């Protein structure tokens, strides 16, 4: 208690220096809290924007299709199995898909596209595809009669390259599962902008039954995309799906022999490995920034305590000469350092937490970082207009604890030096 009182008295002796040190520590912690909340929000948005339309949180496929995609490598699930998957806690929606590749075009031009067969109702429930329509409408719940063109919704980039619009007709040619050449006439009913550049340039959405017909797939599908809750609960839900289907979770090694009918449930980290690797890289790179911020704050604390100790060397010598033990001298200076670290960190955590909380509610306008009117995009993924921060208790507590620890380490050298003063030469001014 005496050490704390002495430490506080010494800090108030030079209010300007103590205030500047508190400000440095506070700014460092506030910046850390804001940066952690921003990074978590940014990475969450990257995952959401990348997985929302295509991969979702998990997918069911055959192992052989994962290793070497072929149009004939399909699987079938009955209604009872789909119902059991939907009942799993954490599973929000499931949507079956068939994926075919071939030429699509008009008399004037053609391009290679992805014919994606979907259940329109299930797809709209699992993804925001229906809300992403910028012209026309989404696919009807039931396929069109076979006496006319099949309904299709094109990605915006593909429609622009083919120079087609609503009401235009397209022809598609592709390899069918039975080895024949599938072809069909498609009528454009809508144009969609998914936010995924690659998908917008290649996607041709049709009804699942139409895709099965033109691809000779029978009742098969290539993917069952699963939308789950976020975080560990979502991964647990995907593992539960694997248990219901008797499937593997995660891609088995290449040396493991499997049959064409064996299923695998893959989380988004395997479906989008480049995104998962980028997130790991971002988190590792940000630690370098964090270390630099902590280093700057540590230098400020060290400088303050060192200057304070040097100015009071004679005072320390007198105090030791009249009976203060070196241990108490050490505790006094460490108490000063602890007050600087704790008070500065508390101020910074409060300021950083308030600003981050505001951005977690109102979001950060990303338009300021874009020079175009089309919104903010990064690595081919379009972000929402406002980035919602992810502020957690750990984002506030961790910087505070680390900063207090850094401050205490910075105060060790001046405290040890003061505790080892030789009173006689110090009072005489010879050291």
Measured distance CA(59)–CA(62) in Å, rounded = 10
Query: Length of the chain, please?
Result: 431
Look up the pTM and report it.
0.73
Residue 167 DSSP symbol: T
Q: Tokens representing 102?
A: 């071939």
Containing 95, the helix (H) or strand (E) segment is: strand 91-105
Q: What is the mean pLDDT of each run of 10 residues along the chain (431 residues)?
A: 55 66 84 88 81 88 90 90 91 94 88 92 91 91 80 92 90 88 90 85 92 91 92 88 89 60 86 83 79 78 71 68 74 79 89 92 75 56 74 87 84 75 65 59
Measured distance CA(175)–CA(169) in Å, rounded = 20
- Angle CA 239–42–395, to nearest 5: 85
How does DSSP assign 240-285, residue by residue?
Answer: HHHHHHT-EESPPPTTS---TT-EEEEEHHHHSHHHHHHHHHHHHH
Measured distance CA(62)–CA(247) in Å, rounded = 9
Backbone angle region of 425, left / alpha / beta, with phi > 0 → left and psi within -120 to 50 → alpha? alpha
Measured distance CA(190)–CA(133) in Å, rounded = 7
Query: Which phi and psi angles does 335 have, rounded to 5°?
Result: -65, -40
Amino acid 260: pLDDT: 47
Amino acid 355: pLDDT: 93
Q: Tokens representing 167?
A: 């009401």
Q: List, in order, residues 6 or more apart from 367 with CB less than 8 Å away.
A: 375, 376, 385
Amino acid 96: pLDDT: 95
Backbone angle region of 167, left / alpha / beta, with phi > 0 → left and psi within -120 to 50 → alpha? left
Q: List, in order, residues 6 or more apart from 362 with CB less than 8 Å away.
A: 386
Place of tokens 């499997």: 258
Beta bridge partners of 187: 151, 169
Amino acid 91: pLDDT: 92
- HSE-CB at 279 with a 13 A cutoff on CA atoms is 16
Amino acid 334: pLDDT: 81
Measured distance CA(386)–CA(401) in Å, rounded = 30
- Strands (E) in 176-239, as ranges, are 181-192, 203-207, 223-228
């Amino acid at each position: 208690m005496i050490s704390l009182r002495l430490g506080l008295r010494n800090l108030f002796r030079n209010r300007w220096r103590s205030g500047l040190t508190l400000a440095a520590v506070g700014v460092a912690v506030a910046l850390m809290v804001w940066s952690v909340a921003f990074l978590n929000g940014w990475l969450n948005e990257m995952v959401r924007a990348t997985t929302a339309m295509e991969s979702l949180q998990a997918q069911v496929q055959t192992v052989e299709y994962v290793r070497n995609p072929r149009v004939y490598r399909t699987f079938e699930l009955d209604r009872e199995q789909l119902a059991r998957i939907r009942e799993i806690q954490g599973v929000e929606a499931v949507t079956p898909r068939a994926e075919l590749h071939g030429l699509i075009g008009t008399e004037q031009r053609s391009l290679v596209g992805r014919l994606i067969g979907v259940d329109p109702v299930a797809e709209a429930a699992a993804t925001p595809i229906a809300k992403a329509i910028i012209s026309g409408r989404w696919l009807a719940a039931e396929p069109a009669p076979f006496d006319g063109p099949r309904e299709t919704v094109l990605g915006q980039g593909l429609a622009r390259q083919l120079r087609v619009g609503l009401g235009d007709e397209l022809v598609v040619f592709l390899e069918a599962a039975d080895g024949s050449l599938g072809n069909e006439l498609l009528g454009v009913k809508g144009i969609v902008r998914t936010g995924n550049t690659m998908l917008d340039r290649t996607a041709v959405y049709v009804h699942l039954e139409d895709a099965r017909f033109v691809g000779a797939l029978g009742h098969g599908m290539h993917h069952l995309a699963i939308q789950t809750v976020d975080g560990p609960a979502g991964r647990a839900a995907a593992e539960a799906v694997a248990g219901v289907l008797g499937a593997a979770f995660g891609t088995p090694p290449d040396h493991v022999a499997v049959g064409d009918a064996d299923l695998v449930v893959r989380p988004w980290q395997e479906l989008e490995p480049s995104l998962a690797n980028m997130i790991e890289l971002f988190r590792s790179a940000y630690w370098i920034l964090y270390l630099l911020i902590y280093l700057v704050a540590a230098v400020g604390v060290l400088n303050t305590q060192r200057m304070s100790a040097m100015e009071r060397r004679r005072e320390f010598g007198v105090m030791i000469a009249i009976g203060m033990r070196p241990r108490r001298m050490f505790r006094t200076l460490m108490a000063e350092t602890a007050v600087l670290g704790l008070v500065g960190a508390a101020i910074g955590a409060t300021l950083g937490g308030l600003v981050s909380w505001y951005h977690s509610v109102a979001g950060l306008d990303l338009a300021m970082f874009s020079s175009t009117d089309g919104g903010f995009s990064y690595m081919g993924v379009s972000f929402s207009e406002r980035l919602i921060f992810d502020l957690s208790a750990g984002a506030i507590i961790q910087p505070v604890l680390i900063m207090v620890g850094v401050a205490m380490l910075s105060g060790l050298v001046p405290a040890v030096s003061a505790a080892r003063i030789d009173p006689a030469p110090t009072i005489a001014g010879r050291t």
